[in-house]
Amino acid sequence: MEGKMPLLGARFPEIEVVTTHGKMKLPDRFRGKWFILFSHPADFTPVCTTEFVAFQKRYDKFKELNTELIGLSIDQVFSHIKWIQWIKDNLNVEIKFPVIADDTGRVSSILGLIHPGKGTNTVRAVFIVDPKGIIRAILYYPQELGRNMDEILRMIKGFQVSEREGVAIPANWPENEIIGDEVIIPPAMDEETAKKRMEQYDCFDWWLCHKKLK
């Protein structure tokens, strides 16, 4: 439904977009890969410029995790191209990921990225989408607060470890205050399994067991 942000666990809406790398169909363009779609309020703005540089500085780390980046704002593609050129000329950083030109506001409307109290600019939103096109996380920031890209990297790593190992990820992982870089075993759902868990893993109690990653 237009105007409402999609829900976690829903399939990312099928949208054809115009980008600085040409036309694309989402989520099909990134089928088999994780991707992060992030919106920014406008080109040629200070916080957004710092964010683009920060994403680009970590682009290789995202790619190592089979993850692509794609930006978005309600600007024309010509504005995106000129801004990206400005970043390269003045900050010596080449933006290598595509940026969606949503000058009609159609894509932003579908994704619920227009805050009624903030005019027509897009908010700072982040969609983390898995290789099957399913939305796994949504982050929503105000215009005045820039994002922490290391946290977004951590989330991708956490999702992938959780899926591969069948575990849960503790707070501040891999530097958790209780179990460090270890991961959490999902709680047992019956008495027999609860007893075995206490024998198989390090546990504070039957419902809080943890292990090291191999």
Residues classed as catalytic: 48
Euclidean distance between CA atoms 110 and 171, whole angstroms? 32
**Cβ-based burial of 2 (10 A; exposed 0-12, middle 13-18, buried ≥19):** exposed
Distance, in Å, from the CA atom of 12 to the CA atom of 16, rounded to the nearest integer, reads: 12
Do 25 and 19 touch, CB atoms closer than 8 A? Answer: no
Query: What number of residues does the chain have?
Result: 214
Distance CA 125, CA 41 (A): 10
